[in-house]
Amino acid sequence: MSDAAHAHEAHGHHAQPTGIMRWLTTTNHKDIGTLYLFFSLIMLFAAGSMALMIRAELFQPGMQLTHPDFFNQLTTMHGLIMIFGVIMPAFSGFANWQVPLMLGAPDMAFPRMNNWAFWILPVAGILLMVSFLLPGGAVAGGWTMYPPLFIQGGISYDLTILAVHIMGLSSIMGSINIITTILNMRAPGLTLMKMPLFCWTWLITAYLLIATMPVLAGAVTMLLTDRNFGTHFFNAAGGGDPVMFQHIFWFFAHPEVYILILPAFGIVSQIIPTFARKPLFGYASMVYATASIAILSFIVWAHHMFTVGMPVAGQLFFMFSTMLIAVPTGVKVFNWVATMWRGSLTFETPMLFAIAFVCLFTIGGFSGLVLAIAPVDIQLHDTYYVVAHFHYVLVSGALFSIFAGIYYWLPKWTGHMYDETLGKWHFWLSVIGMNIVFFPMHFLGLAGMPRRIPDYALQFTEFNQIATVGAFIFGFSQLIFLAVVLKAIRGGARASARVWEGAEGLEWTVPSPAPYHTFEVAPVLK
């Protein structure tokens, strides 16, 4: 943004603080979106480094680099930070930037709450990272926080519970903002069923967050009181039941996995029509499929617990309800493919990531169906097959959609085209590296290698070495991504207002870079 534009804006509004205070006090949805995205990027490198330490240890059987307890801290913190510190803030960043632009709204509904929602996040991030330095180290009981381990740990367990509370509060405030903005602040004539699909998926995601985050807050509050205030919710010695924690936790955490993927569906549903130069196939069915996935996500939680002990009738119910989710998900994949069918396709970096998303997310979906089968799950539970499954869904699903969205909207945000050559390098190294890491894990899991263990039997060595090589390719190729982003912020070819030939929607009617204040007068829809 040029200084002249700044000076011009400052006339009609309160004087802008500069420097750090500008960012601390900002209530502008674009600033807050940027903050979310940078926070997410920093956390991506933090949690990614933990993943590389894990893979380095697993390069050979036996203990090489880490102490087993530190290894457990790495797996736990990698999971917690990637979910709560990377994927969720990145989607919040997209929502902050794009929802007002797509709806023709001047800002989010509650700008001050928006500022709070972001600025408590770094506090949670610091609490998590600091716990590595405390006596006993960071939490090592797994990101699922199961008792009894989570009741028995040291001070860092309390800090983590507090961090989860804060991150939950942040996403609830963000969700309230998004729902209110979408319901009340659309441009005149923009009905709900004319909204861009990204807004629809975020609206449904925000409702999921409102419904489940408080349940997680309740569960970790019970952990906290069990630890410090003498209650016995989950302590069997006091008449509690640790299995109950798993039910409450997964009642939150299964909708949570859709919270991590529905905005990804939205981003991909914006990108594929742009580069296929065709409207999205089956818009209404996309909306209904998203809503069905969200509703079904509340009745499938116990498929994470088939080995815990459950009557056969319960296993059958959760097995079939889980498989039912494949139907709306299949509708979505079909619609994306049908959108590309006979389109005038071009393959810029956002489209490459979106196509990789459709292919690789589907692999993750299918391995999920395998795991949904109760008798198979009992064999595969807590093996590397599960690790392969959820990394296909979260890396080539959620993370790739984030990359796709960044490349897609970066010209609109910065006013500069990103470096397409570097972008393609980033894409190909990521997609190849990602498959080298996670595909062999299917075989390791089927052969019985358990997850969350720093050592393994000799026969697993080769596949683990392949996975580690892939992890380092994938990990270091993210430095290219960092370079692309920084380069586009500093300069590059001027981006036009529409940026992409096939782009449709209100966000492409404002100049690039998007001015600090947009749609102060609601646009008129044709």
Partner 1 sequence: MAAGNARTLGKLVVATVAMFGFGFALVPFYYKICEVTGINAGAEQSLAKNTQVDASRWVTLEFDANTNAALPWRFTPMQRSLKVHPGQLVQVEYEITNTSDHEIVGQAVPSYGPARAAAFFRKIECFCFTPQTLAAGESRRMPVMFVLDPAMDRDVHTVTLSYTFFDAGAEGASPKGRGRG
Question: 142 and 149 in contact (C-beta within 8 Å)?
Answer: yes
Which segment (125-133, 236-244, 291-299, 347-355) binds partner 1 by CB under 8 A? 236-244
Q: Cα separation of 57 and 487, whole Å? A: 34
What's the half-sphere exposure (Cβ side, CA atoms, 13 Å) at 485? 16
The torsion angles phi and psi of 383, rounded to 5 degrees, stand at: -110, 175
Question: For the residues of 169-216, what is the DSSP string, one character each?
Answer: HHHHHHHHHHHHHHHH-PPTT--GGGS-HHHHHHHHHHHHHHHHHHHH
204 binds partner 1 (CB under 8 A): no
Write down the least CB distance from residue 242 to partner 1, Å: 12
Tokens of 323: 């498989």
Write down the least CB distance from residue 454 to partner 1, Å: 28
Write down the least CB distance from residue 418 to partner 1, Å: 36
Long-range contacts from 424-427, C-beta under 8 angstroms, 24+ separation: 424/349, 424/352, 425/477, 425/480, 426/349, 426/477, 426/478, 426/480, 426/481, 426/484, 427/349, 427/352, 427/353, 427/356, 427/403
248 binds partner 1 (CB under 8 A): yes
185 binds partner 1 (CB under 8 A): yes
323 binds partner 1 (CB under 8 A): no
Three-class secondary structure of residue 147 per DSSP: coil
187 binds partner 1 (CB under 8 A): no
Which segment (239-247, 253-261, 448-456, 513-521) binds partner 1 by CB under 8 A? 239-247
20-59 residues in contact with partner 1 (CB under 8 A) are: none
Write down the least CB distance from residue 177 to partner 1, Å: 9
- Rg over alpha carbons for the chain, rounded to the nearest Å, is 23
92 binds partner 1 (CB under 8 A): no
247 binds partner 1 (CB under 8 A): yes
Which member of 129, 187, 243, 422 binds partner 1 (CB under 8 A)? 243
Question: Of 171, 339, 367, 477, which one is the catalytic site residue?
Answer: 171
Q: Cα separation of 447 and 460, whole Å? A: 8
CA 218 to chain centre: 22
Contact mark string toward partner 1, 269..288, x via CB under 8 A: --------------------
The torsion angles phi and psi of 416, rounded to 5 degrees, stand at: -120, 140
Q: Cα separation of 75 and 452, whole Å? A: 7
Three-class secondary structure of residue 62 per DSSP: coil
Write down the least CB distance from residue 469 to partner 1, Å: 41
Question: 120 and 170 in contact (C-beta within 8 Å)?
Answer: yes
Which segment (38-46, 214-222, 343-351, 509-517) binds partner 1 by CB under 8 A? 214-222
Q: Cα separation of 185 and 109, whole Å? A: 7
Write down the least CB distance from residue 465 to partner 1, Å: 37
- The verdict on whether 269 is a catalytic residue reads yes
Which segment (28-36, 87-95, 212-220, 350-358) binds partner 1 by CB under 8 A? 212-220
Write down the least CB distance from residue 321 to partner 1, Å: 17
Which segment (40-48, 146-154, 179-187, 488-496) binds partner 1 by CB under 8 A? 179-187
- The verdict on whether 322 is a catalytic residue reads no
Question: Of 34, 156, 170, 201, which one is the catalytic site residue?
Answer: 170
217 binds partner 1 (CB under 8 A): yes
101-130 residues in contact with partner 1 (CB under 8 A) are: 109-110
183 binds partner 1 (CB under 8 A): yes
Output the CA–CA distances (angstroms, integers) from residue 355 to 83, 202, 361, 499, in the order listed.
Answer: 23, 21, 10, 20
Question: Of 143, 202, 336, 407, which one is the catalytic site residue?
Answer: 143
Which member of 12, 135, 230, 311 binds partner 1 (CB under 8 A)? 311
192 binds partner 1 (CB under 8 A): no
The nearer residue to partner 1, 211 or 345, going by C-beta atoms, is 211
Which segment (134-142, 204-212, 299-307, 322-330) binds partner 1 by CB under 8 A? 204-212
- The verdict on whether 13 is a catalytic residue reads no
Question: Mutual orientation of helices 283-296 and 242-259 as an angle, nearest 10°?
Answer: 170
Tokens of 365: 């979906």
Q: Which residues pair with 494 in a beta bridge?
A: 416
What's the half-sphere exposure (Cβ side, CA atoms, 13 Å) at 117? 29
Q: Which of 159, 320, 322, 143 is nearest to 227 (CA)?
A: 159
Alpha helices in 447-491 (DSSP H): 461-490
- The verdict on whether 288 is a catalytic residue reads no
- The verdict on whether 254 is a catalytic residue reads yes
203 binds partner 1 (CB under 8 A): no
Write down the least CB distance from residue 499 to partner 1, Å: 30
Write down the least CB distance from residue 178 to partner 1, Å: 10
Q: Cα separation of 262 and 370, whole Å? A: 21
- The verdict on whether 421 is a catalytic residue reads no
Which segment (32-40, 90-98, 213-221, 383-391) binds partner 1 by CB under 8 A? 213-221
Q: Which residues pair with 450 in a beta bridge?
A: 383
258 binds partner 1 (CB under 8 A): no
Tokens of 373: 């089968």
Q: Which residue shows structure tokens 């009992």? A: 378
216 binds partner 1 (CB under 8 A): yes
- The verdict on whether 158 is a catalytic residue reads no
Site for partner 1 (CB under 8 A): how many residues? 30
Query: 271: Cβ–Cβ under 8 A, 6 or more apart, which residues?
Result: 350, 351, 353, 354, 404, 405, 408
425 binds partner 1 (CB under 8 A): no
Active-site amino acid positions: 78, 107, 143, 170-171, 254, 256, 258, 269, 303-304, 329, 332, 451
Residue numbers of the site for partner 1 (CB under 8 A)?
109-110, 172, 175-176, 179-180, 183-185, 210-219, 222, 233, 241, 243-244, 247-248, 251, 310-311
